[in-house]
Structure 1
């Protein structure tokens, strides 16, 4: 059975349930045995009041290797990969603990919905997904724990961003009016070499040297994605540093100026940013285009069932009104004003104004597709009740300016949110007690944080 993509996405957050006696386990080498048969687990890192076990690290590393089974050359040596994965497990522990401290909770029903969504994305039923997870060697309970942790972290992210990111109309207007405003989108990948919060001159020098090592490796022929896996300490490092498509104005201005001068395939120098050094690759770019959509003008009559009107009576009343409109040629607007129970359109004779295809929902959109201008629909049912729809006209409308304003709002929001959460994570890690107990897993460039 195909290994589900969810397992690949979750490889970096393989947080399994911690046995109650785990903290009492001796720090034995991997492979040591008790009673000569059972291997003992060991603690590889202490993260505040939590620990990371060797078994957790092994499971997460194994998942990453499964993800890259078709291209193992993309992965760094095992010792580097283990440090990369451990770093992300540490960050996940910190975020989950912070979310719990802030009272953020995830219910069993929330996890059920997440399982169903993952199954759907992989074209499976939940039962098939469970079988695939167990076939991969992971317990399904641990898989659900991973999903729960991801939901916690997502809600923590939303909370941090919500509390720290505000966007005003003047900011949007200023961005659109700015001569430096750049339209279009770029597909980027990046390598990030972070500097600790409150980093010293030695920290900065070490990060700069590591960034130069990454650049030298790329110039020497190493694939950019492989270099990201090996050198980057961003959360997306093990995905090759892929940032996907984004508006140019979602990128910090200093970086946007650099990207503007690049061609697809080019790699930037090491750029100093607020959180460290960044190396960017422009994968591709695309120019904006005018956005023209079809808009519809229609009227509707809505008959709602109520305590006094049964569903059958509502259907019959809608049918009677349809007959009066079509067979007796009574005025649609007059009947709508007298009979429709839609509070937003009834007083306007059922006039829905001009709107885009799905603006009033998929049920009405389906009816619009079946009508010609001037035609009246047969009564049809939605969750709201029974409708009669008259399509009055269509037009092409240029929504580029409106769309551009929405995109500018999103660009400002994304840029602020990304910076806010990156700052939050740096501070979270800086304030934490982290003790890596296995010397081979310590980052040779990192300063002690204990």
Structure 2
């Protein structure tokens, strides 16, 4: 098995917010080493000198492995102690807030770390042992890192507010357009032609292009045509250019691509470098996003102290028969339905996203044609009869773009707010450093 740097391996797959200095931290080292002396008091916790020295050694080793110039010794020692102090403060906040990481979540994280490094569980444990670490020690450190990450997400996240005006301003900005612009995966064929080309050179180039177009129309492979004819630097890669935004392409290609379907090829177009044809291999980003919605109404019957589950099922069957015989759905819903949110509206749920509904309800709705009743069925809420009134696909592209913008703005604010929050909790904590 290849040599693995376990300290890096354990930390790398986790969020960038997690601690990145070492594997051993917190009370872990104190549990594994004889009681020595207190290095710092942090509110209701202490940092032992052994913990501090272990972390310092880890950071020094990391600096050496990365072959970078270390800071002065006193500066490095102060930074290591400050990191341990902040860890202790955040773990105490987690304890007071009831923030936990379950054994199942921890096991899943450990499995993911091993998997992301191409190791089986046994190989992972062997790598830990080779680095002088036990599985229990690794688990405890990862648990602490996950807890600290969760504390930060909660405490910093609640400090970040994104207004509707901020979202709109970002969407209208050049930066927002750049981040959210649709991207196109492209391939090209370039037939070189200089600005001062003679008539003979122009005719020869146009003849070559016409031959390529004819072959493509007969089903020739675009990448093979690129290898054979193109003068672009990516010709031997089948002309593949990778992902591009429309703004990165010269006119008129920026406009052409918007209306093209994947697999289509642009008409041959004269550019300063020659005659170019682009093939759209794929697209991602700012494409139209549709959400399926269903206009549905239902009658819900729930068992109660005076109506048994079997009696509820039988009532649902009788109501179903009455509906089949032509009785008014809205009137029966108002009379019988136990769903207070829809009963007064004749059982109407109006247009709903199927993914927002209970699995049993969604499954039955999907099996029911427009204008048809479902047979009585049971969900976690009780017995239902539903009627599908209509189906549609709604363009939700704008909502998706706004959510993407909000996420980008939140991420931009997060680092700044995190540092502000860390300074605040450090200033508010009682800290007494005994030794460095």
Q: Could you tell me which residue of structure 2 aligns to residue 154 of structure 1?
A: 149
The 8 Å contact of residues 183 and 287 in structure 1, kept in 2 or not, is answered as no
Judge which range, 108-117 or 385-394, deviates more.
Answer: 108-117
Please give the per-residue CA displacement for 1:314-357, whole angstroms capped at 9, x wherever unaligned. 2222222223223x232222222211111211111111111222
Tell me the CA shift for residue 390 of structure 1: 1.6
The 8 Å contact of residues 360 and 379 in structure 2, kept in 1 or not, is answered as yes
Q: Could you tell me which residue of structure 2 aligns to residue 216 of structure 1?
A: none
**TM-score in terms of structure 1 length:** 0.54
SS where residue 356 of structure 2 aligns?
Answer: coil
**For 1:87 and 1:361, how far apart are their aligned partners in 2?**
55
The 8 Å contact of residues 293 and 399 in structure 1, kept in 2 or not, is answered as yes
**For 2:308 and 2:113, how far apart are their aligned partners in 1?**
42
The 8 Å contact of residues 305 and 311 in structure 1, kept in 2 or not, is answered as yes
SS where residue 387 of structure 1 aligns?
Answer: strand
SS where residue 306 of structure 1 aligns?
Answer: coil
Tell me the CA shift for residue 171 of structure 1: 2.4
Tell me the CA shift for residue 99 of structure 1: 1.6
Equivalent residue in structure 1 for 2:164, among 164, 169, 182: 169
Q: Could you tell me which residue of structure 2 aligns to residue 9 of structure 1?
A: 13
Equivalent residue in structure 2 for 1:334, among 319, 324, 331: 331
Tell me the CA shift for residue 169 of structure 1: 2.6
Tell me the CA shift for residue 158 of structure 1: 2.6
Q: Could you tell me which residue of structure 2 aligns to residue 322 of structure 1?
A: 320
Equivalent residue in structure 1 for 2:307, among 309, 322, 325: 309
Provide closer, same or farther for how the CA distance between residues 313 and 417 of structure 1 changes in structure 2, counting only shifts above 3 A. Answer: farther
1:118 paired with 2:109, answer yes
**For 1:86 and 1:378, how far apart are their aligned partners in 2?**
72
For 1:30-179, what aligned pairs fall within 5 Å after superposition? 49-50=46-47, 51=49, 52=51, 78=65, 80=67, 93-102=84-93, 104-105=95-96, 110-115=101-106, 117-118=108-109, 134-135=125-126, 136-137=128-129, 138-178=133-173
The 8 Å contact of residues 99 and 151 in structure 2, kept in 1 or not, is answered as no
Please give the per-residue CA displacement for 1:167-187, whole angstroms capped at 9, x wherever unaligned. 223323333344653154599
Tell me the CA shift for residue 103 of structure 1: 5.6
Question: Runs of 5+ in structure 2 lacking a partner?
Answer: 183-244, 250-282
The 8 Å contact of residues 334 and 345 in structure 2, kept in 1 or not, is answered as yes
1:392 paired with 2:403, answer no
RMSD after superposition: 4.9
SS where residue 334 of structure 1 aligns?
Answer: helix
Tell me the CA shift for residue 161 of structure 1: 1.6
Judge which range, 173-182 or 289-298, deviates more.
Answer: 173-182
Question: Runs of 5+ in structure 1 lacking a partner?
Answer: 26-42, 65-75, 188-247, 249-259, 263-284, 438-449
**For 1:399 and 1:385, how far apart are their aligned partners in 2?**
32
Q: Could you tell me which residue of structure 2 aligns to residue 18 of structure 1?
A: 29
Of structures 1 and 2, the larger Rg is shown by 2
**For 1:58 and 1:372, how far apart are their aligned partners in 2?**
68
Tell me the CA shift for residue 383 of structure 1: 1.9
SS where residue 344 of structure 2 aligns?
Answer: helix
Provide closer, same or farther for how the CA distance between residues 100 and 6 of structure 1 changes in structure 2, counting only shifts above 3 A. Answer: closer
**For 2:421 and 2:137, how far apart are their aligned partners in 1?**
27
Q: Could you tell me which residue of structure 2 aligns to residue 371 of structure 1?
A: 368
Please give the per-residue CA displacement for 1:188-247, whole angstroms capped at 9, x wherever unaligned. xxxxxxxxxxxxxxxxxxxxxxxxxxxxxxxxxxxxxxxxxxxxxxxxxxxxxxxxxxxx
SS where residue 296 of structure 2 aligns?
Answer: strand
Provide closer, same or farther for how the CA distance between residues 414 and 7 of structure 1 changes in structure 2, counting only shifts above 3 A. Answer: closer
**For 1:292 and 1:383, how far apart are their aligned partners in 2?**
29
Please give the per-residue CA displacement for 1:227-273, whole angstroms capped at 9, x wherever unaligned. xxxxxxxxxxxxxxxxxxxxx9xxxxxxxxxxx989xxxxxxxxxxx
Tell me the CA shift for residue 381 of structure 1: 2.3
Provide closer, same or farther for how the CA distance between residues 373 and 79 of structure 1 changes in structure 2, counting only shifts above 3 A. Answer: closer
1:288 paired with 2:286, answer yes
SS where residue 344 of structure 1 aligns?
Answer: helix
Count of residues paired in the alignment: 310
Provide closer, same or farther for how the CA distance between residues 131 and 367 of structure 1 changes in structure 2, counting only shifts above 3 A. Answer: farther
**TM-score in terms of structure 2 length:** 0.55
For 1:203-218, what aligned pairs fall within 5 Å after superposition? none
The 8 Å contact of residues 110 and 139 in structure 2, kept in 1 or not, is answered as no
The 8 Å contact of residues 369 and 388 in structure 2, kept in 1 or not, is answered as yes
Please give the per-residue CA displacement for 1:377-429, whole angstroms capped at 9, x wherever unaligned. 22222222222222111112111222222333322222212321144457778
Equivalent residue in structure 2 for 1:181, among 159, 165, 176: 176
Provide closer, same or farther for how the CA distance between residues 150 and 122 of structure 1 changes in structure 2, counting only shifts above 3 A. Answer: closer
